[in-house]
């Protein structure tokens, strides 16, 4: 059972991540993971297991957040479903490769530093509002499947919905920012669902899981966060359509810089 104060804390966390999911097309994983790691550690869960459970539980909330967010974007006709259908197969394959295989093998320090570099580069490109080449378009079906594999794989290792990769990728290919954010929200569902299946199956034989766990997923936290996040995701989606394109890009870039700093910090500590 969760104590009332912890329920309030998880609820506020859910409200914030839901809004971010709708506004920027991300699942809020980078906000959830550190907080859940701390909470699980306070419940005497070992550090390694706490991080893995935080990642898995964060990803599980995206299953619900993405549904709420994408409905709001779809009503405005902003989702590029043609892109979703081409990226989704690669996303599922990449997600399974991460959550069922590499999740337990890679050193966190190497992954964090590499990911921080990648995110910093993407944020710089967006913050400077560098215009894509006028002739650059989304790649063909094979290229989009490959890109989806990368998005799903990275998402599975860090417990995020993929918006930090898919939005810069789509804008680089001349997809308007509002369409990119909306499409990224739609991609969050296959990313989350495939990864959660992997986390549940991969965590079946793990010892010392806390009560209420399904594999690596901590169900009590999932219930509170998901319930609150679906309330604010449509509000974030509405705000996304009311903000100027340049300002939205800079908001997203600022968030990416913060995520990069966090990943660098985690990488240095783990080295």
- Report the C-alpha gap between 34 and 47 in whole angstroms: 12
Cα separation, 178 vs 22, whole angstroms: 11
Residue 98 has pLDDT above 80, yes or no: yes
Percent of the chain with pLDDT over 70: 86
Convert the pLDDT of each residue in 149-203 to its tens digit.
Answer: 999 998 888 777 777 788 888 888 888 888 988 898 889 889 889 999 999 998 8
Amino acid 104: pLDDT? 67
**What pLDDT was estimated at residue 52?**
83
pTM (2 decimals)? 0.78
Note the pLDDT of residue 134.
Answer: 62
pLDDT in tens, 6-60: 889 889 988 988 787 677 656 566 677 778 888 888 888 877 788 888 888 988 9
User: What distance in Å separates the CA atoms of residue 23 and residue 21, rounded to the nearest whole number?
Assistant: 6
| DSSP H helices in the chain | 4-24, 29-42, 47-75, 81-100, 108-127, 141-158, 163-172, 177-202, 219-242, 245-270
């Amino acid at each position: 059972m969760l104590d009332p104060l912890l329920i309030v804390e998880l609820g506020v966390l859910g409200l914030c991540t839901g809004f971010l999911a709708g506004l920027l097309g991300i699942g809020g994983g980078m906000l959830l993971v550190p907080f859940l790691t701390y909470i699980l550690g306070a419940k005497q869960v070992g550090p390694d297991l706490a991080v893995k459970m935080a990642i898995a539980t964060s990803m599980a909330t995206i299953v619900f957040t993405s549904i709420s967010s994408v409905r709001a974007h779809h009503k405005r006709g902003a989702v590029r479903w043609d892109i979703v259908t081409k990226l989704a197969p690669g996303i599922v394959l990449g997600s399974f490769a991460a959550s069922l295989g590499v999740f337990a093998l890679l050193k966190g320090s190497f992954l964090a530093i590499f990911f921080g570099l990648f995110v910093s580069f993407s944020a710089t490109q967006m913050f400077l509002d560098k215009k894509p080449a006028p002739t650059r378009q989304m790649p063909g079906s094979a290229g989009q499947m490959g890109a989806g594999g990368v998005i799903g794989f990275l998402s599975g290792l860090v417990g995020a919905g993929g918006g930090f990769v898919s939005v810069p990728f789509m804008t680089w290919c001349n997809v308007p920012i509002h369409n990119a954010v909306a499409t990224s929200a739609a991609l969050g569902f296959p990313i989350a669902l495939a990864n959660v299946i992997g986390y549940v199956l991969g965590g079946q034989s793990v010892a010392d899981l806390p009560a209420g766990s399904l594999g690596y997923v901590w169900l009590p936290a999932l219930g509170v966060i998901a319930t609150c996040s679906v309330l604010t995701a449509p509000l974030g989606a509405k705000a996304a359509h009311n903000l100027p394109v340049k300002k939205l890009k800079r908001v997203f870039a600022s968030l990416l810089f913060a995520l990069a700093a966090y990943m660098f910090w985690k990488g240095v500590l783990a080295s």
